[in-house]
Chain A
Amino acid sequence: MFLFIITMRESRKKQFEFLPHPADVKMRVWGKNKAELMRNAVLGVMNFMRPEYGEEKISREVRVESLDFPTLLVDFLSEVLAQADLGDEAYEEIKIDDMTDKTISATFFGRKVKKFEDDIKAVTYHDLTVEKKNDRWEAVVTFDI
């Protein structure tokens, strides 16, 4: 199993890992609260896509509404993919400005990219789980690649 670990100032706990699946990729992601879960999920997506960064710094504001918290996670990541594709950019820091179980507003900080090494076609609701386990939030999301 491949483990992609990035240590951040706030938390030394594992943020995400990638799991075996026949045709696609599943990501398991953790967070000490819902906001951190969302942020780590974005970092996981960026990690998978392996951006080759350029110089120019960018920031991007995003707002997403959804039916419930699990679908919000997927819809948020879909928006991340769309913005990254539109702007040829990748995100290194995510600030959650406002969040409920059905809405999220965030600002992404990152840089333009020359290319991404790997592609995610879409974020799906396939086998989606989002739950609280042992005081941490844990989600599993499937990407269509």
Chain B
Amino acid sequence: MLPQKKDLKKINDYLWEIPKDFWPRMKVPARIYASEKILEGIFRDRSLEQLMNVAAMPGVVDKVIVMPDAHEGYGFPIGGVAAMKLPDGLISPGGVGYDINCGVRLLRSGLNYSQIKKEIPRLVSQIQRDVPSGVGRGGREVFRGEAMDKILAGGARRVVEIGFGEKADLEYCESGGVLEGADASKVSVKAKARGADQVGTLGAGNHFIEIQRVETIFDKEAANRLGLFQDQIILMIHTGSRGLGHQVATEYIQLMMRVMPKYKIDLPDRELAASPFDSPEGQDYFAAMQGAANFAWANRQLITHLVRGSFQKILGEAAKLNTVYDVAHNIAKLEKHNGQELLIHRKGATRAFGPHHPEIPAAYQNIGQPVIIPGSMGTYSYVLLGTEQSMKEAFGSTCHGAGRTMSRHAALRLVRGETLKQDLESRGIEVRGGSWRGLAEEAPIAYKDIDAVVETVVGAGIARKAARLAPVGVVKG
């Protein structure tokens, strides 16, 4: 059943297909966005086998997709996009991920790198103080009972309502920072208890806050609309729904595994635990997932507020930060594509709507939706833009980041955290936080080359480049 390169159809230099008839259980073809070199890497783990299993799910529509930052995940591969028909196509928590609405927000300042270069060490230290990170460190704001339910219902909008942000932050956030179908009663007491002190916290692992500078502008008109300029200081926040989201995912995977027999769902991989979207369990998960997604947007919103404080403490009252955009890369959404209402799963993939889509901010209508692509630590990040072609052939989706090639073990063998920190600092990148082991595990050598991943999606036409960003300060969880 395992495909080899000879079984794939090459559509263009950046797009391959496993035809539907390669395996009788596939209901649709599987498409892989990858250069030839990236494709060879993808064969090294079980991403393609997993993708074919997704193509076998009842209700799947048109094609399943994996992006060039693909790697093997739980059930669905990371980098996966799958559309399900309504009302009864399947919804699968494995198609969203454990860290529901893990995503990225980009903020822009009015400042130039050379203006504030000397202050960066103090700035990262301040951010590290102001935004709790790591594991077992709670935030200053605690949300219980009705306060938590309002966060789950209102997301970033609720956080702005209670005084931690600006209305414009919501306008420049995917879905306005809130999904209206959330139902706090479908999120368990345990999940809410885990999340109570986690709003406004960074978490750990590959989450970070980065101070960056705009290193290259690829499209001047787009950069103007985005409010970006050469050598500008900007700030990137990469985090998700913390323990609350993980608990929601864990509980609903457990639930779906139990109810699958009653729906007589025949799946080649039990990790694809799923229920029909219109079943009670499917609806409950979708409502809880939206609550967790809102929690993540609330989190990024409160962190935005906290880093605004950090900036002002170090750089003065006039140092403002405005939201450029905020995207989710682990989520399931109801969207219309090619005339059809669908449930779109994106796991380690980002929405990339093209120009003139009604859901993108007015200021960006002509250029397309910004897609924030975080690089691994110490490497470039990108601002891309969604395209019409992405709408036509990829359900308005693109990649999410660099993707791992190397196990954390192997990374640890090759990189010592202390050495990495020194190396980054010698390149002018201040690093704070995280354990030495955590630093080494997140070393760039463990990730696919971000430039190659971006070249692929751009070459394939499912995104285009606006700007490239270089890190100057990192606060790691």
Residues A86 and B194 in contact in the complex (CB < 8 Å), given A116-B135, A116-B136: yes
Closest Cβ of chain B to A105, distance in Å, is: 17
In the complex the two chains form, is A71's CB within 8 Å of B257's CB?
Answer: yes
Q: Does A93 contact B (CB under 8 A)?
A: no
A9 CA to B45 CA, complexed, in Å: 40
A87 to B409, CA, bound (A): 29
Q: How far is the CA of A15 from the CA of B477 in the complex (A)?
A: 29
A8 within 8 A of B: no
User: Which of chain A's residues have a CB closer than 8 A to the CB of B205?
Assistant: 119, 121, 145
Partner of B410, one of A20, A49, A78, A125: A20
Q: Which of A19, A22, A25, A88 contacts B136 (CB 8 A)?
A: A88
Check A61 for interface membership: any CB of B closer than 8 A.
no
B98 & A126 in contact (Cβ 8 Å cutoff): no
Among residues of B, the one whose C-beta sits closest to the C-beta of A124 is B74
Which B residues are CB-close (under 8 A) to A22?
45, 71-72, 404-407
Contact call B99/A121, Cβ cutoff below 8 A: yes
Q: Which residues of chain A from 13 to 30 have a CB within 8 Å of any chain B CB?
A: 18-23, 25
A-B contact count, CB below 8 Å? 103
Q: Does A96 contact B (CB under 8 A)?
A: no
Question: Taking the nearest CB of chain A, how far is it from the CB of B255, in angstroms?
Answer: 11
Closest to B247 in A: A82
Which residues of B19-45 are within 8 A (CB) of A? 45
Interfacial residues of chain B within 174-195, with CB under 8 A of chain A in the complex: 190, 193-194
Residues of A within 8 A of B470 (CB): none
- Minimum CB–CB distance from B346 to chain A (whole Å) comes to 17
The number of chain A residues with a CB under 8 A from chain B is 38
Other-chain contact of A115, B75, B136, B249 (Cβ < 8 Å): B136
Any chain B CB within 8 A of the CB of A130?
Answer: no
| CB pair A117 B258 closer than 8 Å | no
- Whether the pair B135, A142 counts as a contact (CB closer than 8 A) is no
B74 touching A142, Cβ below 8 Å: yes
Q: What B residues does A144 contact at CB under 8 A?
A: 74, 98-99, 246
Other-chain residue from A18, A115, A123 in contact with B137 (beta carbon distance below 8 A): A115
> How many angstroms from the CA of A12 to the CA of B258 in the assembled complex?
38
Q: Is A104 an interface residue (CB 8 A)?
A: no
B135 A118 Cβ-Cβ under 8 A:
yes
Complex CA–CA separation, A2 to B270 (angstroms): 30
CB neighbours (8 Å) of B71 from chain A are 22-23
The answer for the CA separation of A145 and B74 in the assembled complex, in Å, is 12
The answer to whether A122 and B78 have CB atoms under 8 Å apart is no
Residue A101 is within 8 A (CB to CB) of chain B in the complex:
no
The interface residues of chain A lying within 8 Å CB-to-CB of B250 are 78, 82, 122-123
Compute how far the CA of A22 lies from the CA of B249 in the bound complex, rounded to whole angstroms.
21
Q: Decide: A117 and B438 in contact? CB cutoff 8 A.
A: yes
Q: Tell me the nearest residue of chain B to A21, going by C-beta.
A: B407
Given A22-B72, A144-B99, 9 extra CB contacts under 8 A:
A20-B409, A22-B45, A22-B407, A25-B408, A75-B254, A115-B136, A115-B137, A119-B204, A124-B98
* A interface residues with partner B (beta carbon < 8 Å): 1-2, 18-23, 25, 49-51, 66-67, 71, 75, 78, 81-82, 85-86, 88, 113-119, 121-126, 142, 144-145
